[in-house]
Amino acid sequence: MIRTYDDFGYPFDPVELYVVGEDLYMTRNLAERSPEIVGHCDHLMKEWIQEQMAKPFAIADPLQSVLQDRKADAQKRLSGE
């Protein structure tokens, strides 16, 4: 499963799911047809991230800072600042 948190202007689907052994070039996105698999993958990823962040000396994912900055910029643009 691939999750796009911010497409940075590219036409990516927010969630993509492929059977790479059968679709090497990842041309058939199965995410909409398999919501239970997507949900399970999301759960596993969130659980793993929580486990990693609970470790001593864990370093936050820099992507989270980028996403927060982009969200703040977008809110400023919408409010006319």
pLDDT at 7 over 80: no
32/12 Cα distance (integer angstroms): 14
pLDDT confidence of residue 25: 97
Which string of DSSP letters, residue by residue, matches 10-60?
Answer: S---SEE---TTT-TT-----TTT-HHHHHHHHHHHHHHHHHHHTSTT---
2 in helix, strand or coil? Answer: strand
Query: Distance (Å, rounded) from C-alpha 36 to C-alpha 30?
Result: 11
* pLDDT tens-digit series, residues 39-79: 999 999 999 999 999 999 999 889 888 888 988 988 888 88
DSSP single-letter state for residue 3: E
pLDDT tens column, 10-46: 888 999 999 999 999 999 999 999 999 999 999 999 9
